[in-house]
């Protein structure tokens, strides 16, 4: 039993007699793929803005796009300092390997393989659960401690890695879009917990009803996490039910409370919406 392959495709992928290819069965289809040749993708970027968020956004998206070697041009020492901090807190396996007066080379040195995708995603889930626990403790006793920042940095690194793999791996366009959307909503939901923690200060009194909302959001997140692991979309019905209940409770509390507790309720509301919205791309990815 044999199959002929297009000559143009063979030349484009540098295949010769004896070269190995991958054959994947998808229901009634066979997907034939040339084994990729590992070539480091390179690019150049320029830092034109001094703000940390601007530098972070540019570096994050260059990393996510699959580049392995990045020449970064900068104008000031402050930009270089911000760049170093972003690499440290947002990128897995990348380091500055060379520096000149107004530029440096950032390169993939010890990045995990793409086969670690599910492992890294599990770490991301675990770190979000950890952030929930830290937030719960700080709602009970607001204090000046920053473990929540460390947890959030880990989550951002894991999120960036997973999105990078989505871009680098040749997933079908539909599945990639769904998985990307799922990660984006999960990441935004936990980011609201980070902003909530930034508001908590020593001596701040938070009502029991607001604290309970956090417990309910964690329940929603755990359902979503377990659906991803089990690939059973039936359990997402509970997420829809929880969302309606939590939005109603939050609206009611927003009308009753004031001051910083209302700011906390705002971030809780945004977190509810984001975790809830993750169920749509999740179901699309699983189905």
How many whole angstroms separate alpha carbon 140 and alpha carbon 70? 44
Query: Measured between alpha carbons, how far is residue 99 from residues 74, 104, 170, 281 in Å?
Result: 11, 4, 33, 41
The per-residue pLDDT for 3 is 81
DSSP string, 221-238: HHHHHHHHHHT-GGGHHH
Domains within the chain, CATH numbers bracketed: 42-108 (3.30.110), 114-286 (1.20.58.220)
pTM of the model: 0.84
159-188: average pLDDT: 88
Per-residue pLDDT tens over the stretch 201-247:
888 889 999 999 999 999 999 999 999 999 999 999 999 999 999 99
Per-residue pLDDT tens over the stretch 41-82:
899 999 987 788 899 999 999 999 999 999 999 999 999 999
Comparing 216 with 20, the larger pLDDT belongs to 216
Comparing 32 with 67, the larger pLDDT belongs to 67
Single out the residue of 129, 131, 119, 73 nearest to residue 99, CA to CA: 73
**Residue 253, token pair as written in the block:** 């509390």
How many whole angstroms separate alpha carbon 242 and alpha carbon 260? 25
How many whole angstroms separate alpha carbon 281 and alpha carbon 84? 34
Mean pLDDT check: name the lowest of 103-112, 170-179, 237-246.
Answer: 170-179
Distance from the Cα of residue 199 to its chain's centroid: 23
Q: Which residues contact 71 (CB under 8 A, 6 or more apart)?
A: 42, 43, 44, 45, 103, 104, 105, 106
With tokens 């509970």, the residue in question is 238
Mean pLDDT check: name the lowest of 26-35, 218-227, 244-253.
Answer: 26-35
Comparing 111 with 143, the larger pLDDT belongs to 111
The per-residue pLDDT for 36 is 57
């Amino acid at each position: 039993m044999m199959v002929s392959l297009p000559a143009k495709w063979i030349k484009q992928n540098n295949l010769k007699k004896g070269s190995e290819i991958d054959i994947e069965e998808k229901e009634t289809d066979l997907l034939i793929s040339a084994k990729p040749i590992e070539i480091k993708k390179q690019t150049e970027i320029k830092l034109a803005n001094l703000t940390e968020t601007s530098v972070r956004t540019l570096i994050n998206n260059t990393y996510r796009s699959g580049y392995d070697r990045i020449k970064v041009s900068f104008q000031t020492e402050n930009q270089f300092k911000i760049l170093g901090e972003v690499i440290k807190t947002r990128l897995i396996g990348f380091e500055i390997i060379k520096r000149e007066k107004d530029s440096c080379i950032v390169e993939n040195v010890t990045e995990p393989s793409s086969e670690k995708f599910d492992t890294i995603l599990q770490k991301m889930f675990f770190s979000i659960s950890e952030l929930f626990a830290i937030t719960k403790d700080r709602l009970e006793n607001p204090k000046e401690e920053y473990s929540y920042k460390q947890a959030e940095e880990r989550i951002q690194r894991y999120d960036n890695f997973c999105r990078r793999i989505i871009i680098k791996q040749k997933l079908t366009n539909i599945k990639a879009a769904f998985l990307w959307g799922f990660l984006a909503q999960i990441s935004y939901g936990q980011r609201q917990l980070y902003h909530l923690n930034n508001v908590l200060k020593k001596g701040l009194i938070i009502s029991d009803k607001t604290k309970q909302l956090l417990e309910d959001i964690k329940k929603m997140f755990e359902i979503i996490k377990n659906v991803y692991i089990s690939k059973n979309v039936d359990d997402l019905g509970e997420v829809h039910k929880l969302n309606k209940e939590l939005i109603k409770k939050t609206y009611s509390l927003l009308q009753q409370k004031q001051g910083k507790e209302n700011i906390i309720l705002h971030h809780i509301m945004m977190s509810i919406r984001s975790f809830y919205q993750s169920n749509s791309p999740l179901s699309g990815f699983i189905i």
